[in-house]
Structures are given as C-alpha cells and as structure tokens.
C-alpha cells in the first residue's frame, strides 16, 4: 500500500506588496530585486494575523478537495519556522481553530525543507496503518521577522516616506527582507487503493555544519535572557542569509538528491514529468534546472508572485501545478527542498 495525496489547498493573505512598494521604505528597486531573486510580488499578513490563521483556510481547502471533513483527520504535521508563539507550537492552535478532534499534532522545524520532512512522516504513519488521514501543513508569517515598522505604507496605503533613520535601517537588510512572503499550503495524505499512485520514495539529509549560513542570530537558550532589547536594535531578529554560500550549496545538493532518488528507484530524468523545487530564489531554481538539463516545461516556479514562503513554498507550488494541469494523473513529480539547518531532501510522487 502506498500513501497518496488526496487533496491540496493554499492560502495567502490578501495584502499584495510589490517591489515598488518596498522601494518606498528602503534603498531598492523593482529592477534590483527582479535581477537577484526573480520576485515581483509577495503577500503579507495583517498585524495580529498569526501563522495558524493563515494555515486554517489552506487546511480547509485541502480537506474539501480530498472529500473529507474535519472529523476525519487523524493526525496533523505542522511545519513552520514562524510559530504563533515561542511555545507551544502552532499545531495545537490549528487543531483548535480548525475544530478537529483531540488528535496528535506534531510541530516540525526544518524550515524550507519542512514540507518534504512532513511528507515522510505522513507517508510512514499511513503505510504503518496507525493513522488513515494525515493533514500536512507548511505555513509561515514572516512579517514579524521583517526589520521595518512602517506597515501603514506597505499594506495600509499611506502616502508618506519613513524617517531617514528608519529608511537606512531597513536598507541594511534589503538583501534578505525582499525575499520573504507569507502563506500556507496543505495536503491530506491517505491510504491508496493499491494502484501505482502515491509517494514512491523520500530521501532526507541534515548537515549541521552550515547552521550559520541561514539563521536568526537572536533568541533561544544560547542567550540569557532569551531576548533583550539590544537584539532588536542590532537587527539580530532578522534572518541572516549568506546568499552566495547558500546559492553554491543549493545548486549542488538539490540536483544531487534528485538524481539519487531517481537512481535508487531505477528511474531517470527522462521519466520525470515535473520538478517542483523549493521557491527560495528564482536564480537558484534556474541553476538547479540547468544542472539537471531539464526543459522549462518540466520545472514549476511561482516565486515571482509569492516570494519565499519557506515551509509553504512546495505545497503552494504543488497545488498550483495541479490547478494548471502541470501535475496530471500518472505524472511522476519530484519535490525537492533545502533549508536552514542544513536540511534537504526530495520526494518522488506519482500523481
């Protein structure tokens, strides 16, 4: 028996922030951002809207798509690096907001690789027979990690310029701050009917020697207290992304894991119908595509309109690929992600 993805769903907040809006609060431009990232727009949640709030509509859509009700869910796997609170995790909060029974809810922290890790867990739970209907969610609200305070300009339509000091502070982080957006993607994993559909294989890796290539310097037990005002003043709460190093690592490890998972299943790139990479940066996706020698029709990207939504990028892209007829019944799809940790891996899935 294989586990299959019976339904998918997504949700992005309605506040669309284009590159021209970002240029109002920092020294950047539409051209600068597009050249380096490929991103044109991204969505941000309203103040007070948490990651679980963004996840609920995505989960509801996935359940409806699967033909299931909230009472049918047996288990929840929630992947995020931006939980509602420092603790508890967002899984329990989602369970309550979604109106689920008191089912197990597991929170995982593999950042941009969180969704592929979540699929491995769901696959194992379903195939073991312990659970039948597993809800897997990747969701993020990065807005709280952004360095700026002038949300009235970005999502409130205010016609003003931030003070020079704030403009300069925002500009310090433009290489990272332009990357991120908010959103959620969800899938429902259930037992298959014994046919060729379903999750064929999952391959995962972790290498902690690269932790400082992508991380948030502030917060946690490495500090006493966990948080102090100086962290905010220094910008230590803003994600650090060593762009050049991450690029080199990503365009090496992601193609490697794609080729290896295909090889160990006696498959080749010719058998692959669609590659859905984590949407970190369009330039990374293009470089991975080039190294694998795949044509455009075999790679799906939507970072242009959503930015990097971390654990949500792959499920959002999978849903959109299905909606666009790019992941059709019988197609062989490979999902591949790499995130802070470093964690990386790939999933082979027969639609």
pLDDT in tens, 134-154: 999 999 999 999 999 999 999
Q: What is the pLDDT of residues 304-320, one digit of tens each?
A: 999 999 999 999 999 99
Q: Give the list of residues 6+ apart from residue 213 with CB closer than 8 angstroms, or none.
A: 241, 242, 245, 246, 249, 340, 342
Question: So what's the pLDDT on residue 260?
Answer: 98
Catalytic residue among 278, 319, 334, 343: 278
Give the pLDDT confidence score for residue 3 in this predicted structure. Answer: 97
- What is the distance, to the nearest Å, from the Cα of residue 103 to the centroid of all Cα atoms in its chain? 24
Residues 93 and 100 sit within 8 Å (Cβ to Cβ): no
- Where do the H-state alpha helices sit in the chain? 19-22, 30-37, 51-66, 90-98, 114-127, 151-154, 164-171, 174-177, 229-234, 243-263, 282-292, 303-306, 313-323
Whether the CA torsion 292, 293, 299, 304 is positive or negative: it is positive
State the pLDDT at residue 70.
97
pLDDT value at 194 more than 90? no
Q: Which two tokens stand for residue 209?
A: 């020697």
Mean of the pLDDT values across residues 177-187?
97
Tokens of 199: 């999750």
CB of 308 within 8 A of CB of 179? yes
Domains of the chain with bracketed CATH: 3-191 (3.40.47.10), 198-350 (3.40.47.10)
Q: Beta strand 105-108 with 134-140: parallel, antiparallel or unpaired?
A: unpaired
Of the residues 15, 19, 281, 308, only one is catalytic, namely 308
Specify the range with the lowest mean pLDDT, choosing from 14-18, 103-107, 222-226. Answer: 222-226
CB 271 within 8 A of CB 201: no
Average pLDDT taken over every residue of the chain? 96
pTM for the whole thing? 0.97
* Structure token digits, residue 316: 């959002």
Dist. CA 230–CA 212, nearest whole Å: 20
**Residue 1 pLDDT greater than 90, yes or no:** no
Query: Which residue in the list 105, 112, 150, 334 is annotated as catalytic?
Result: 112
- Does 15 qualify as catalytic in the annotation? no
334 is an active site residue: no
Cβ-based neighbours of 237, under 8 Å, separated by 6 or more: 145, 216, 218, 219, 231
Q: Which of 4-13, 99-108, 238-247 has the lowest mean pLDDT?
A: 238-247
Angle (CA) 138 322 188, round 5°: 45
Alpha helix (H) ranges present in 67-188? Answer: 90-98, 114-127, 151-154, 164-171, 174-177
| 284: exposed, middle or buried (Cβ count in 10 Å: 0-12, 13-18, 19+) | buried
CB 137 within 8 Å of CB 78: yes
Catalytic residue status for 43: no
């Amino acid at each position: 028996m294989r586990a299959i993805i019976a339904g998918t769903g997504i949700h992005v907040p309605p506040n669309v922030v284009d590159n021209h809006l970002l240029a109002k609060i920092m020294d950047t431009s539409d051209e600068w951002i597009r050249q380096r990232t490929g991103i044109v727009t991204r969505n941000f949640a309203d103040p007070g809207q948490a990651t679980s709030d963004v996840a609920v509509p995505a989960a509801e859509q996935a359940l409806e798509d699967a033909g299931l009700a909230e009472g049918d869910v047996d288990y929840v796997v929630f992947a995020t690096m931006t939980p509602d609170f420092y603790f508890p995790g967002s899984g329990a909060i989602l369970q309550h907001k979604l109106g689920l029974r008191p089912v197990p809810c597991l929170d995982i922290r593999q950042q941009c690789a969180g969704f592929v890790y979540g699929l491995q867990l769901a696959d194992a739970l379903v195939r073991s027979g312990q659970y039948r209907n597993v809800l897997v969610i990747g969701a993020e609200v990065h807005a709280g990690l952004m360095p700026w305070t002038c949300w009235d300009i970005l999502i409130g339509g205010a016609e003003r310029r931030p003070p020079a000091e704030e403009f300069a502070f925002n500009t310090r982080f433009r290489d990272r701050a332009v990357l991120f957006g908010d959103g959620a993607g969800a899938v429902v994993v259930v037992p298959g009917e014994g046919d060729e559909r379903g999750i064929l294989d999952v391959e995962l890796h972790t290498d902690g020697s690269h932790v400082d290539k992508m991380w948030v310097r502030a917060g946690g037990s490495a500090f006493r207290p966990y948080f102090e005002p100086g962290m905010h003043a220094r910008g230590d709460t803003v994600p650090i992304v060593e762009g050049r190093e991450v690029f080199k690592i990503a365009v090496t490890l992601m193609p490697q894991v794609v080729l290896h998972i295909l090889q160990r299943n006696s498959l080749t790139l010719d058998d692959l119908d669609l590659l859905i990479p984590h949407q970190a940066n369009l330039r990374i996706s293009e470089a991975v595509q080039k190294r694998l020698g795949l044509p455009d029709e075999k790679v799906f990207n939507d970072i242009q309109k959503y930015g990097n939504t971390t654990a949500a990028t792959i499920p959002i892209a999978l849903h959109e690929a299905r909606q666009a007829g790019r992941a059709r019944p019988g197609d062989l799809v490979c999902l591949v992600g790499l995130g802070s940790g470093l964690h990386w891996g790939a999933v082979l899935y027969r639609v």
